[in-house]
Every structure is written in C-alpha cells, then in structure tokens.
C-alpha cells in the first residue's frame, strides 16, 4: 500500500512540474548611471562624462549622441568617433561592466543650467536597440576679477646696428575665453612702433596674438610689435600697452607696460 501511495505522489509531482511554465531568463538592460554631470564653467569648452552599466546582457557597437534645446550650447564628440561618442575602453559594454562616454560642451557666457537629451544605441543578440535619457548639466558663473593678465614684462632688445627688432609681450587668459584680442602701444618712449600688415596689405594699426586672436583660461600667447630705435641712446626704455578684447559680446581693455633694451 505504501509503495503505491509513493508512486502516485511522484506522478502528481511530475505532472505538476510539467504543467508549470519555465522560469523566464532575467531581462537584460543598459542603465545610465549619470543623471547630473559635473558643473561646467560659463564661456568654456568643457568635457563631461556619462557612466553606463549593462545588466544580464552584452551591448556591442555602443554609441551615444546628445542634443540640447538651450540656445548657444553646442555638443561635440571625440575626434576618433566624430559624429557620436563611444565607450572609453572599447565599443562593447559587457554584463556587469561599467564604462564611460565623453561629450564636449561649448557653453556661452550667461548660460544657466540646462538639460541634455542623450540617446544610446547598441546591438544585442543581433538586434539594434536604443534608449533616450535626460541629463542635467549645472553651469557655474565666472567670478574672476581679471580676464587677461600680462605674463612677461621684458619685451626684448633692439640693436642699434640693426636699427629695429620685433619685440614680444606675453599675455595669459584667466577667464574661460576672450576673443578678438588686440594689442597697441600707446607710448614707446621715443621709439617708432609698427604692427604686422593687415590682410589687405595695408599698414596694420594693431597686433594680435601669434597663434590666434583667442585666449582661454590658462593659455598664454605672444603679441609682437616692430620697434625702431634709430637715433636712440643705449639704455632701457618702456612700452605703454593697451590690450583690447571681447567677452560675452562686450568690449574690454586692460593696460600694461613692458621694458625693452637698446644696445650698440
């Protein structure tokens, strides 16, 4: 009797297991861990990173694009990807792996915090998948007292045997960015000053920087002028300088001075 009862009980268990649905495999997903980026400074070009994680899946050919409706803000990507950004290590996000994507944001002066619409696209099990996310970007205001500082005070030497020389004054950016940088000499202590010719071939009325007419925070560049010391006595003289530039659409100036030496 006992044997028959056990046989019937086992049969019931087997029938119950056969009738039960199979447990579904855990659904894979890709998660954006970054909901808020590090703060960027107004007037700057700043890189921000977004953190991604995959769960129960492998996401290959991973790429990210971002847009914003905030006026004046532009988004760009690393040179090696061009029209999008991919992961730091490679273009595959493995299960339980965390990796990062980088975006470059150009943020004009006066911009307040804004949102990015971030679209991630990847391939999983032969199918292309995508998902959109929203990320907040805080913007910090530039509060510096100076935008540009003069970082050299010795412009160089003019030899009387040559008569003239190109002298150089270095300037360094403090603000995130200033444009249309121009330097003029307001007093040359008896020397004659000339500037690089204008693009149309006429005599220039100012000198710009060697690399371009923009200075960013921490960047240094030189402004050169031609100084003719013919007829002057050997000694040390002073150039009185005026640097003009634009920041956030407004024109600004800063005064400076640099010494130069006249020798035989």
Per-residue pLDDT tens over the stretch 114-148: 999 999 999 998 899 999 999 999 999 999 899 99
Q: By C-alpha distance, which of 131, 129, 135, 152 is closest to 50?
A: 135
Q: Residue 3 burial by CB count (10 A; 0-12/13-18/19+): exposed, middle or buried? A: exposed
Beta-carbon neighbour count of residue 236 at 10 Å? 12
Q: Which two tokens stand for residue 75?
A: 């988004």
Question: Is it true that domain 27-140 has CATH number 2.60.40.10?
Answer: yes
Contact of 134 with 77, CB cutoff 8 Å: no
- DSSP classification of residue 196: P
> Nearest 5°: CA angle at 154, between 149 and 157?
145
Stretch(es) of the chain classified as CATH 2.60.40.10: 27-140, 148-263
Q: Which of 164, 154, 171, 206 is nearest to 185 (CA)?
A: 206
Structure tokens that stand for 96 in this block: 């339980």
Does the pLDDT at position 22 exceed 80? no
Model pTM above 0.85:
no
Backbone angles phi, psi at 4, to 5 degrees: -65, -40
Confidence of residue 150 (pLDDT cuts 50, 70, 90): very high
In a 13 Å sphere around the CA of 121, the CA atoms on its Cβ side amount to 8
Mean predicted lDDT score pLDDT of the chain? 90
Please give the structure tokens belonging to residue 175: 């603000």
Say which residue, 198 or 166, is predicted with more confidence.
166
pLDDT tens per residue across span 203-260: 899 999 999 999 999 999 999 999 999 999 999 999 999 999 999 989 999 999 999 9
From CA 86, how far away is CA 63, in angstroms rounded? 5
Q: Is the pLDDT of residue 11 over 80?
A: no
Task: Give the pLDDT score at 164.
Answer: 94
Which homologous superfamily does the CATH classification assign to the domain defined by 148-263?
Immunoglobulins (2.60.40.10)
């Amino acid at each position: 009797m006992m044997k028959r009862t056990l046989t019937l009980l086992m049969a019931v268990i087997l029938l119950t297991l056969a009738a039960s649905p199979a447990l579904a495999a855990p659904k894979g997903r890709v998660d954006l861990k970054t909901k808020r980026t590090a703060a960027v400074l107004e007037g700057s070009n700043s890189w921000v990173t977004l953190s991604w994680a995959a769960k129960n899946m492998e996401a290959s050919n991973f790429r990210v694009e971002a847009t914003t409706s905030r006026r004046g803000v532009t988004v760009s990507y690393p040179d090696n990807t061009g029209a999008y950004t991919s992961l730091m290590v490679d273009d595959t996000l493995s299960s339980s792996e965390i990796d990062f994507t980088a975006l470059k944001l150009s943020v004009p002066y006066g911009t307040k915090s804004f949102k990015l619409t971030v679209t991630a696209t990847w391939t999983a099990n032969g199918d292309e998948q995508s998902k959109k996310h929203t990320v907040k970007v805080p913007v910090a205001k530039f509060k510096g007292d100076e935008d540009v500082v003069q970082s050299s005070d010795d412009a160089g030497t003019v030899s009387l045997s040559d008569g003239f020389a190109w002298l150089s004054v270095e300037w360094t950016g403090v603000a995130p960015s200033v444009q249309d940088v121009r330097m003029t000499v307001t007093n040359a202590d008896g020397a004659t000053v000339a500037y690089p010719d204008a693009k149309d071939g006429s005599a220039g009325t100012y000198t710009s920087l060697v690399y371009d007419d923009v200075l960013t925070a921490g960047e240094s560049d030189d402004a050169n002028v031609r100084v003719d010391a013919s007829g002057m006595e050997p000694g040390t003289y002073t150039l009185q300088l005026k640097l003009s530039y634009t920041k956030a659409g407004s024109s600004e100036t800063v005064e400076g001075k640099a010494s130069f030496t006249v020798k035989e």
